[in-house]
Amino acid sequence: MIQAPPGYHFVGADVDSQELWLAAIFGDSMFAKIHGCTAFGWMTLQGKKSAGTDMHSRTAASVGIARDQAKILNYSRIYGAGKAHAQRLLMQFNHRLTLDEAKQKIKKMYSQTKGIQKTVVGEDEIGDDGYIFTPGPQRRIWVGGSESHMFNKLEEIALSQKPSTPALNCRISRALEPKAVDKNFMPSRINWVVQSSAVDFLHLMLVCMKWLFIKFNISGRFSICIHDEVRYLVKSEDRYRAALALQITNLLTRAFFTSRLGMYDLPQSVAFFSSVDIDTVLRKEVNIDSTTPSNPHGLHNGYGIPPGEALDIFQILKK
The 10s digit of each residue's pLDDT in 243-296 is 999 999 999 999 999 999 999 999 999 999 999 999 999 999 999 998 989 889
**DSSP calls for 117-185:** EEEEE---EE-TTS-EE-S-SEEEEEESSTTHHHHHHHHHHHHSSS-B-TTT-PBPPGGGSHHHHTT--
Which amino acid is residue 28, in one-letter code?
Answer: D
Boundary of a domain, candidates 58, 80, 114: 114
% of the chain with per-residue pLDDT over 70: 95
10 & 51 share domain: no
* Res 315: pLDDT: 97
Which amino acid is residue 182, in one-letter code?
Answer: D
193 & 307 share domain: yes
Q: What confidence tier does 134 reach under pLDDT thresholds 50, 70, 90? A: low
122 & 22 share domain: yes
Coil, strand or helix at 14: strand
The residue ranking higher by pLDDT, 129 or 117, is 117
Q: What is the mean pLDDT of the chain?
A: 92
- ∠ CA(136), CA(139), CA(143), 5° rounding? 170
148 & 136 share domain: yes
State the burial class of residue 164 (Cβ atoms within 10 Å of its Cβ: 0-12, 13-18, 19+). middle
The answer for residues whose C-beta is within 8 angstroms of residue 130's C-beta and 6 or more apart is none
125 & 12 share domain: yes
157 & 277 share domain: yes
- Whether the per-residue pLDDT at 129 is higher than 80: the answer is no
- Whether the per-residue pLDDT at 4 is higher than 80: the answer is yes
The 10s digit of each residue's pLDDT in 10-56 is 999 999 889 999 999 999 999 999 999 999 999 999 998 888 999 99
Q: What confidence tier does 115 reach under pLDDT thresholds 50, 70, 90? A: very high
200 & 245 share domain: yes
* Res 62: pLDDT: 85
The residue ranking higher by pLDDT, 298 or 126, is 298
Q: Write down the pTM of the prediction.
A: 0.90
Closest CA to 250 of 225, 275, 226, 233: 275
Boundary of a domain, candidates 72, 89, 114: 114
* Res 35: pLDDT: 97
The residue ranking higher by pLDDT, 155 or 63, is 155
% of the chain with per-residue pLDDT over 90: 79
9 & 139 share domain: yes
- Whether the per-residue pLDDT at 309 is higher than 70: the answer is yes
* Res 275: pLDDT: 96
Element housing 234 (H / E): strand 229-235
Domain membership of residue 157 as a residue range? 2-38+115-317
Q: What confidence tier does 130 reach under pLDDT thresholds 50, 70, 90? A: low
* Res 132: pLDDT: 57
The structural domain count of the chain equals: 2
Boundary of a domain, candidates 87, 114, 141: 114
170 & 289 share domain: yes
Q: What confidence tier does 65 reach under pLDDT thresholds 50, 70, 90? A: confident
Q: What confidence tier does 122 reach under pLDDT thresholds 50, 70, 90? A: low
The 10s digit of each residue's pLDDT in 181-209 is 988 999 999 999 999 999 999 999 999 99
93 & 28 share domain: no
- Whether the per-residue pLDDT at 137 is higher than 80: the answer is no
The residue ranking higher by pLDDT, 163 or 123, is 163
What number is the average pLDDT over the span 166-180?
95
153 & 241 share domain: yes
134 & 204 share domain: yes
